[in-house]
């Protein structure tokens, strides 16, 4: 029996501010679950007519599923939001793309008619649960992935520099400076306000405050300043520094998805319509190149080209990975469609939260640019994967 797929739409998307990981970070005294709960409550408050019992599943990306991020966080957070016991939930891991994969799983569930209203998100507290914490790799893991460099994402970025010497450190630094400049302009223009949910936090002296802005951006970044930074993963001869790499961060993002029919039935505005998804895998030692084949798959399945993309949101784990993507996709480094509000080099990369952040940005940019039709979200993934999604702007002309 053949079955036509349902149209899947984003009704709303929100995120926390992104804090720096560690004792000086915004969320040092805040648990990972308590980053997710305010997002759930805000989605309910911002969408009148939505009731907790309408949520048929809570799918959350969590890369490091131990300590406070273990115990099936996707199920736990709905109960912590006081939504009762009747909403199922799960946690999934595709490393950096865990949150974007959670959205992808939700899309599949709705498209195939197994549900019509879901929440998908991603959360990562890299201060409390550092990357690789308590991980026990197989004795043959390094051999299977090529060598030990595949375990360390910064070393995989250095490997791209090695294999593609046309992408110099100076080019990576220039890209990072431009990213910080775009982020600063967007923040000062108030572009983050609609997507950021303030989170009440405890400070070191025991006082409490509302965190309502990202901690990571460095608006005063200059080429001279970046040139003086020490290379982290190879010295001497390295090219990757803290200035041309994304930060270690804490944060969360959540997306409310429905079938088109259900959204209209509830009187809610469909903002983005899912078009296609592409997932790809490459040599883990150069994991940052994987958004290229993933994007090509997504474009081919949609019958579109990169020229059809009006908005391109790429998670910049490292500047060299971004330069590779732009070059191989035939785009200029300063293409105005790419990361118009800045990317992860400025805002940070709290792993599983970064995919939902990309969707928040696409939604906001579509509101800002009603003539834009298609938006691409793409990101590289540890262990050599790429994940891309194409969305159509349903607010065109509004």
Question: Of these residues, 125, 179, 349, 360, which one is catalytic?
Answer: 349
**Cβ(355)–Cβ(100) below 8 Å:** yes
Give the dihedral sign, CA 258/264/268/273: positive
Going 209 to 210 to 215 to 219, the CA torsion angle's sign is negative
CA 66/CA 55 separation, integer angstroms: 26
**260 is written with which tokens?**
């088109």
What is the C-alpha separation between 102 and 124, in angstroms, rounded? 14
Of the listed 96, 117, 179, 366, which one is catalytic? 96
Please say whether the beta carbons of 121 and 99 come within 8 A. yes
Backbone angles phi, psi at 391, to 5 degrees: -125, 145
Is there a catalytic annotation at residue 380? yes
349 counts as catalytic: yes
Q: What residues are paired with 387 via a beta bridge?
A: 279, 379
Segment (H or E) for 156? helix 153-163
CA distance 251 to 269: 27
Distance in angstroms (rounded) separating the CA atoms of residues 40 and 376: 25
Which amino acids are annotated catalytic? 96, 349, 380
């Amino acid at each position: 029996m053949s079955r036509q797929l349902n149209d899947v739409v984003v009704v709303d998307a929100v995120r926390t501010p992104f804090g720096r990981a560690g004792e000086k970070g915004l969320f040092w005294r805040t648990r990972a679950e308590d980053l997710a709960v305010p997002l759930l409550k805000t989605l309910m408050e911002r969408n009148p007519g939505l009731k907790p019992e309408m949520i048929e599943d809570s799918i959350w990306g969590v890369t490091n599923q131990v300590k406070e991020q273990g115990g099936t966080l996707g199920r736990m957070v709905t109960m912590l939001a006081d939504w009762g016991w009747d909403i199922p939930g799960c946690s999934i891991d595709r490393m950096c793309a865990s949150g974007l994969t959670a959205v992808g799983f939700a899309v599949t569930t709705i498209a195939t008619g197994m549900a019509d209203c879901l929440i998908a998100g991603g959360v990562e507290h890299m201060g409390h649960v550092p990357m690789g914490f308590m991980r026990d790799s197989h004795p043959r893991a390094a051999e299977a992935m090529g060598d030990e460099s595949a375990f360390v994402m910064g070393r995989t970025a250095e490997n791209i520099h090695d294999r593609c010497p046309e992408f110099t450190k100076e080019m990576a630094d220039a890209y990072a400076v431009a990213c910080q400049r775009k982020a600063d302009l967007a923040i000062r223009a108030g572009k983050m306000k609609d997507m950021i949910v303030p989170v009440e936090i405890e400070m070191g002296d025991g006082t409490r405050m509302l965190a309502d802005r990202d901690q990571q951006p460095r608006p005063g970044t200059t080429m001279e300043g970046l040139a003086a930074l020490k290379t982290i993963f190879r010295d001497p001869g390295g090219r990757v520094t803290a200035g041309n790499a994304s930060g270690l961060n804490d944060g969360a993002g959540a997306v409310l998805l429905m079938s088109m029919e259900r959204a209209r039935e509830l009187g809610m505005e469909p903002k983005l319509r899912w078009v296609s998804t592409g997932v790809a895998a490459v040599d883990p030692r150069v994991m940052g190149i994987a958004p290229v084949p993933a994007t090509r798959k997504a474009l081919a399945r949609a019958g579109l080209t990169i020229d059809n993309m009006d908005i391109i949101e790429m998670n910049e784990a490292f500047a060299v990975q971004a330069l590779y993507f732009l070059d191989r996709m035939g785009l200029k480094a300063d293409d105005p469609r790419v990361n118009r509000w800045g990317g992860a080099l400025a805002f940070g990369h709290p792993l599983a939260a970064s995919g939902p952040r990309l969707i928040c940005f696409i939604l906001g940019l579509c509101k800002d640019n009603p003539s834009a039709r298609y938006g691409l979200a793409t990101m590289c993934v540890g262990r050599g994967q790429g994940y891309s999604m194409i969305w159509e702007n349903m607010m065109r002309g509004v």
